[in-house]
Amino acid sequence: MTIDKQHEHFLQAFTSIYEAKAQAISIAPGRVNLVGEFTDYNFGFVLPCALQYNTRILFKQRDDKLIRVSSMQYPGEIDEFDLGEKIVPGDLHWGNYIRAVAFVFTREGHSLSGFDMLIDSDVPQGSGLSSSAALEVAVGGIFNHTFELGLGSDKIALLGQAAENDFIDCQCGVMDQMISACGVEGHAMLLDCESLETKAVPIPDDLVIVIVNSNYPRKLVDSEYNQRRIDCEKAAEKMQVASLRAANMAMLQSAKAQMSENEFKRAHHVISENQRVLDTVGALAENNMQKLRNLMTASHQSLRDDFEVTVPATDGLVEICSQALGEKGAVRMTGGGFGGAIVCVCRKADIPLIENAVAEHYYSRFNLKADIYVCKAGNGLIVENLAAD
Ligand code: ADP
Ligand code: MG
Residue pLDDT, tens place only, 250-295: 999 999 999 999 999 999 999 999 999 999 999 999 999 999 999 9
Q: Is ligand 1 within 6 A of the CB of residue 71?
A: yes
Average of per-residue pLDDT across 19-25: 97
pLDDT of residue 151: 98
Q: Which amino acid is at 310?
A: T
Q: Is residue 380 part of a domain?
A: no
Residues 252 and 171 placed together within one structural domain of the fold: no
Choosing from 17, 27, 91, 135 the residue with most ligand 1 atoms within 8 A of its CB, the one to mutate for a pocket test is 135
Q: Do residues 245 and 135 share a domain?
A: no
Q: Is 5 a residue whose pLDDT tops 80?
A: no
Is residue 335 assigned to a domain? yes
- Alpha carbon distance 297, 299 (integer Å): 5
Contact between 166 and 25 (Cβ < 8 Å): no
Beta bridge partners of 192: 45
Specify whether the backbone of 36 is left (phi greater than 0), alpha (psi in -120 to 50) or beta: left
**121 CB under 6 A from ligand 1?**
yes
Query: Among residues 200, 222, 248, which one ends one of the domains?
Result: 200
Indicate whether 167 belongs to any domain.
yes
Same domain? For 183 and 212 the reply is no
Q: How far apart are CA 174 and CA 246, in angstroms?
A: 19
For position 389, what pLDDT does the model report?
67
Return the minimum-mean-pLDDT range out of 158-162, 171-175, 365-369.
171-175
Examine residue 382 and state whether it is found in any structural domain, yes or no. Answer: no
CA distance 85 to 65: 9
User: Which residue is catalytic, options 176, 192, 205, 222?
Assistant: 176
- The pLDDT tens digits for 76-128 are 999 999 999 999 999 999 999 999 999 999 999 999 999 999 999 999 998 88
* CB count in 10 Å sphere of residue 5: 6
Q: What does each C-alpha distance from 73 to 31, 94, 122, 124, 206 come to in angstroms?
A: 19, 10, 9, 10, 33
The mean pLDDT of the chain is: 96
**Residue pLDDT, tens place only, 205-227:** 999 999 999 999 887 788 898 89
Give the CATH number for residue 18.
Answer: 3.30.230.10
Judged against a pLDDT cut of 80, whether residue 62 lies above it is answered with yes
Q: Would you place residue 6 in the very low, low, confident or very high pLDDT band (cuts 50, 70, 90)?
A: low
Phi, psi dihedrals of residue 331, rounded to the nearest 5°: -140, 140
The verdict on residue 381 lying in a domain is: no
Distance 100 CA to ligand 2 centre (A): 13
> Where in the sequence is the domain holding 80, given as residue range(s)?
5-200
Do 261 and 183 fall into the same domain? no
> Is 60 exceeded by the pLDDT of residue 1?
no
The domain tally of the chain equals 2
Instruction: Identify whether residues 118 and 254 lie together within a single domain.
Output: no
Q: How far is the CA of 131 from the centre of ligand 1 (A)?
A: 5
User: Ligand 1, closest atom to CA 94?
Assistant: 16
Identify whether residues 192 and 264 lie together within a single domain.
no
CATH number of 366's domain: 3.30.70.890
Q: Are residues 114 and 18 in the same domain?
A: yes
Domain end (from 161, 178, 200) = 200
Q: What spacing in Å lies between the alpha carbon of 79 and ligand 1's midpoint?
A: 15
What's the 3-state SS for the chain? Answer: CCCCHHHHHHHHHHHHHHCCCCCEEEEEEEEEEEECCCCHHHCCEEEEEEEEEEEEEEEEECCCCEEEEEECCCCCCCEEEECCCCCCCCCCCCHHHHHHHHHHHHHCCCCCCCEEEEEEECCCCCCCCCHHHHHHHHHHHHHHHHCCCCCCHHHHHHHHHHHHHHCCCCCCCCHHHHHHHHCCCCEEEEEECCCCCEEEEECCCCEEEEEEECCCCCCCCHHHHHHHHHHHHHHHHHCCCCCHHHCCHHHHHHHHHHCCHHHHHHHHHHHHHHHHHHHHHHHHHHCCHHHHHHHHHHHHHHHHHCCCCCCHHHHHHHHHHHHHHHHHEEEEEECCCCCCEEEEEEEHHHHHHHHHHHHHHHHHHHCCCCEEEEECCCCCCEEEECCCC
Which region holds residue 48: left if phi is over 0, alpha if psi is between -120 and 50, else beta? Answer: beta
Q: 339 and 351 share a domain?
A: yes
Is residue 258 one of the residues assigned to a domain?
A: yes
Residue 40 known to be catalytic = no
Task: Report how far residue 385's alpha carbon sits from residue 146's, in angstroms, rounded to the nearest whole number.
Answer: 10
Chain center to CA of 303: 18
Structural domain includes residue 384: no
Say how many C-beta atoms besides its own lie within 10 A of residue 327's C-beta. 8
Overall average pLDDT of the 140-159 stretch: 98
How many beta carbons lie within 10 A of that of residue 248, not counting itself? 13
* Same domain, residue pair 195 and 210: no
- Last residue within a domain, chosen from 183, 200, 217: 200
On whether the CB atoms of residues 90 and 168 are closer than 8 A, the answer is no
Yes or no: say if 29 and 133 are a contact pair by the CB < 8 Å rule.
Answer: no
Residue 334 belongs to some domain of the structure: yes
Nearest to 245 by CA among 280, 193, 197: 193
What's the confidence (pLDDT) of residue 387?
Answer: 87
Best probe residue, ligand 1, of 132, 214, 215, 218 (max atoms within 8 Å of C-beta):
132
